[in-house]
Structure 1
């Protein structure tokens, strides 16, 4: 509990600023040249920000941003000192929601602000635990009126039993907690309004002015207006510079519409800041936690709370779909509803035809898995006191895009030749999960994500298939521990059973696996002894992991950093995973040429993840476009029973085999390569098999895992799908029979299609299709 950031936070912030030095220099140069709009490198963000502030269609906004002389300079540019007069009224409204955090004897600790009718937000380093909150109060109206006279303050106690949520990571550093009884004063909590937390990406761009409402050093409420300008953006933070003293911990950082863009948590004169000539720049650099990152983390951690507290977080997330400060009771703002409709409520884009412009909050409000529930009349159910709730490692870095209508999904024209998703048989359509939000005329079974799509087998609660487009020329890596996007590096994936995964709200819960289904597995070593240290590789290799179908790195491409972060999070939907034994699922994660890469894996190079790494690495090296279909092979007679004794999962079967189809264009010709792999030898030494007497403790039989190159005709037979004649004609399989065991990945994916076998395969596919048509 401190009014000042901890040394740990300060050190981490300085490290982030050092890494963003190039961004900062560029932004400040553009600001100095009175071209602040050019500080923002992402065109898509500039268009969305412009659209949000004008209410234009996305097409018109795109045109005006591309040609600033047509109007964009009114939003940023030479006239940056001009703002709408409503700016002051909106600012006054926002200021009402800001409170001073004090001890019971009146000593100042920091600043906080209401984010919903019941919850206040501040920094974790201001209030880090329920014990901290017990001795603190939120003091509203500690400020002067227009005559300079101090208002009568109203104080509220905190009610951590109703709700307390915090994250002490240095790049999140926030706490959300409920307010309780009024201690002094006469005003009701509802009279102060609130400043919602939104995940919208149209609230800021580099070069923007931001405004801070605060109680610096415990003084009466003050506003730093149009003094700070955004100069850098990292995965979870924003940096902004000013000539003034640093902001106060826990203060809201707002844009020109007074929508929240960040939670202030650190600031300091930054002597390391220099211009291109090395000359020191006398500026105070501030850092705030991005509102979108906090929104995502709140939606992630809500499930750790009891139902009553979850309801309060849900309410805050729901009102967060409105990006502007909300008026207190009885207070209105002229033109408020029209302005909100014109661009400040959601993170989606206006349709090209100009319709359905800002009705998205009604859609987005169900994007949290359908778990939002109303605030109960009494929200005082006990929440056990204890240590702060902290996410595990990378979980807090997952930034889930709340707008599911904006996901492009798999692109059938990605390779320059149209390759549609495979067709399901009639029997498969009966058990396929239907997307409850599919547009009219769209595939009713397709769940679109960023750069990939999934079709679910609702009966088996696993995907029929996942289909992804990979652009090797713009492929990026996402550091799961830091949130940094970089050029391609090695993947350091660890056990995926501990990751946070998101449920899919567009299909029924009964058609997907619960995200906690894989937790708490017990494993045994080769001698039959329990592996107590779950960090050991032996434990991970002998358990079912949530194996990604579309690999986490595959859809991470393009030049929009936010989209890359969203694509990364999308791969963590439960629809995109299937139970895979640790060894089968895990990859080496070694950079070519590194010392680690020189060490052989006990299973050689033919484990499933090795193939996935090989496909992505080659796409990157050759700057090639690749599309990949993948999924489990369902065999209700022979798949492994694995309901884990849960009544809600009774009859669940873990697939023994998986298939993959790699599509690429080589020399102007489409190439299609199919692979099947069997994890049965590994399943047979799982703890469940040992307990049931089906197997004895033994070393993992790496050498028995087999992978096969098969024909497209064979893949159609075993999957039940119709892939179409284009894929059949592009088949690289040219051996006798329908499949052959492969010994190296080069042998598999460097094969080329043979014209004659391809034609023969195409004829077989055509005959098969004709027979099916007659039956129908």
Structure 2
């Protein structure tokens, strides 16, 4: 890399830092809800880390002892990059790290071109052991002809690495650092750690003395001890999740011995850039890296199907029957004998799939949910971006019991969320909850006019009331399965009706349940050229039970719609008609 290019990067970093500093001085009060930011931040924290909130909010220095072990594991994927010319002479050093089993991330100004990468090497284990003895270095060649993506503006290069070193060591033995696409993995005022090869020397780490000063859309600025050769280092939060790619340290223009800024490129921006590129061959090298990141569909109207790793399902809370408070237990509905044999069991034999703050029971024959059950906390709702609309098969359940693209592609059927996307998005796990709602298990075929109008209006009404009044609400939702439902594409029966039951604590502290029935019967006669009326009714809980063969037991006794044992289905013309 030329001296001019390095100086240009430093000047750009300095200019960005000064601008952010100026904006902060002019507007010292944050224009966002700090509690909401905290909730998004803690959504990437493991529930077992009980000290995390204290660190994030109160700047505590307490860390679980596993922090050190986790950091050591993370360091294995970091390597020194040795830059050589055609004659094998050393030209300089940088740092890089594995982000998938075969791909390495570093700076563009470290590996600017394929040719430079061809003569460079990734050297792992260049470090001292606990006795300060050097470990044996393992060197891998780069394979830029397999994959080489670079961008000067974001100053990153993603390049393929050979899978086996000359001494027979497998690249996979060093693991890799998974990259998460969402923003919010670090907050201003927190501290980052950087694993690096300063001045091309043995691997070193700066641990938690690196305060984050500013966050901008694509960059993060922090105070840290880094040296030349540290370019391309991973920047970690306290959970050893990579939040940025380090690329420049800038000296004070008034004092060459002082450093005023370090800058990294946000991982979310790098992944968004990669997802926005035209398809690159061989695409499979990017597949694991871009999980959960929007990629262009192969053709108009083609549905994106993603895959989530096992960690997305570990320790999920599921629906909580005691959510509404002491003495107000609301259990999951019981499947009556007529449908109990049709429940789809998970691969480990469970009748219910648990997600973050909601649960689902699936029908084998219909390949749709009997019901979904979600807890909504109006005091802790987090506004999570919808994301890329990628949908997932749940790996815990046989795909034969799930309806995917073969049902929803190239027609007027929406993948109607049964548990509404925003409903479980509260508390520290809001981001994971949002992603969990995009499972095929949590959707049902709903005509676009039905899903986007009547159903949406009712869901908005319930959620907005919960948010406005700080309510805790439990909501059950599902389709009505009928023998005379229309058969579509020779294998799918399209439900003509959907139901919803909302349960909350009333003013007297007792349970209150309200039930709703919506129909799309007049909309689905011709899925390509359909039109007609749709209707919404408030009905008794008992009527939902009769239609679905589900037993809600005690909720019948708490039906707010039944007065003196009587109730007549009421058509809802406006939301003022609803009796809560």
Global fold match (TM > 0.5): yes
The answer to whether the 8 A contact 2:540-2:559 is kept is no
Runs of at least 5 residues in structure 1 that lack an aligned partner in the other structure:
27-39, 53-57, 272-280, 318-367, 370-387, 439-443, 482-497, 523-542, 588-606, 644-649, 688-696, 753-776
Does the alignment pair 1:641 with 2:487? Answer: yes
The answer to whether the 8 A contact 2:324-2:472 is kept is yes
Q: Deviations over 1:10-54 (max 9, x none)?
A: 7999799789979xx99xxxxxxxxxxxxx9689969978977xx
The aligned residue for residue 122 of structure 2 is 140
The aligned residue for residue 632 of structure 1 is 479
Indicate how the Cα distance of structure 1 residues 283 and 680 shifts in structure 2: closer, same or farther if over 3 A, else same. farther
The aligned residue for residue 448 of structure 2 is 582
Indicate how the Cα distance of structure 1 residues 100 and 458 shifts in structure 2: closer, same or farther if over 3 A, else same. farther
The aligned residue for residue 400 of structure 2 is 510
The answer to whether the 8 A contact 1:435-1:447 is kept is yes
Indicate how the Cα distance of structure 1 residues 659 and 196 shifts in structure 2: closer, same or farther if over 3 A, else same. same
Does the alignment pair 1:742 with 2:572? Answer: yes
1:359-438 equivalences in 2 (<5 Å): 390=295, 402-416=311-325, 417-437=328-348
The aligned residue for residue 80 of structure 2 is 98
The answer to whether the 8 A contact 2:226-2:249 is kept is no
1:36-185 equivalences in 2 (<5 Å): 75=63, 94=76, 97-100=79-82, 111-114=95-98, 119-123=102-106, 132=114, 136-141=118-123, 154=139, 156-158=141-143, 161=146, 164=147, 175=158, 177-179=160-162
The aligned residue for residue 419 of structure 2 is 550
3-state SS, counterpart of residue 408 of structure 2? coil
Residue number among 654, 657, 660 corresponding to 2:494 in the alignment: 654
Does the alignment pair 1:622 with 2:469? Answer: yes
The answer to whether the 8 A contact 2:84-2:119 is kept is yes
3-state SS, counterpart of residue 477 of structure 1? coil
The aligned residue for residue 684 of structure 1 is 525
The aligned residue for residue 363 of structure 2 is 457
Q: TM-score, normalised by structure 2?
A: 0.71
The answer to whether the 8 A contact 1:678-1:707 is kept is yes
Q: How much does 1:480 deviate?
A: 3.6
1:471-550 equivalences in 2 (<5 Å): 471-480=377-386, 499-515=389-405, 517-519=407-409, 521=410, 543-550=412-419
- How large is the Cα RMSD of the aligned pairs? 5.8
Does the alignment pair 1:229 with 2:76? Answer: no
The answer to whether the 8 A contact 1:465-1:630 is kept is yes
The answer to whether the 8 A contact 2:17-2:221 is kept is no
Distance in 1 between residues matched to 2:226 and 2:368, nearest whole Å: 56
Indicate how the Cα distance of structure 1 residues 659 and 415 shifts in structure 2: closer, same or farther if over 3 A, else same. same
The answer to whether the 8 A contact 2:108-2:156 is kept is yes
Q: How much does 1:74 deviate?
A: 6.7
Runs of at least 5 residues in structure 2 that lack an aligned partner in the other structure:
30-36, 253-257, 298-303
Distance in 1 between residues matched to 2:333 and 2:152, nearest whole Å: 44
The answer to whether the 8 A contact 2:80-2:93 is kept is no
Q: Deviations over 1:238-279 (max 9, x none)?
A: 75422656885532335899x6634515446599xxxxxxxx
3-state SS, counterpart of residue 317 of structure 2? coil
The aligned residue for residue 664 of structure 1 is 504
Higher strand share: 2
Q: Deviations over 1:634-685 (max 9, x none)?
A: 1232x23233xxxxxx511222211111112221232211111112322234
Q: How much does 1:427 deviate?
A: 3.2
The aligned residue for residue 32 of structure 2 is none
1:272-421 equivalences in 2 (<5 Å): 283-287=260-264, 289=266, 309=285, 390=295, 402-416=311-325, 417-421=328-332
The answer to whether the 8 A contact 2:96-2:233 is kept is yes
Q: How much does 1:578 deviate?
A: 1.1
Q: Deviations over 1:98-117 (max 9, x none)?
A: 3346786887796433456x
Indicate how the Cα distance of structure 1 residues 566 and 192 shifts in structure 2: closer, same or farther if over 3 A, else same. closer
3-state SS, counterpart of residue 510 of structure 1? helix
Q: Deviations over 1:713-734 (max 9, x none)?
A: 1111101101113344324145
The aligned residue for residue 242 of structure 2 is 261
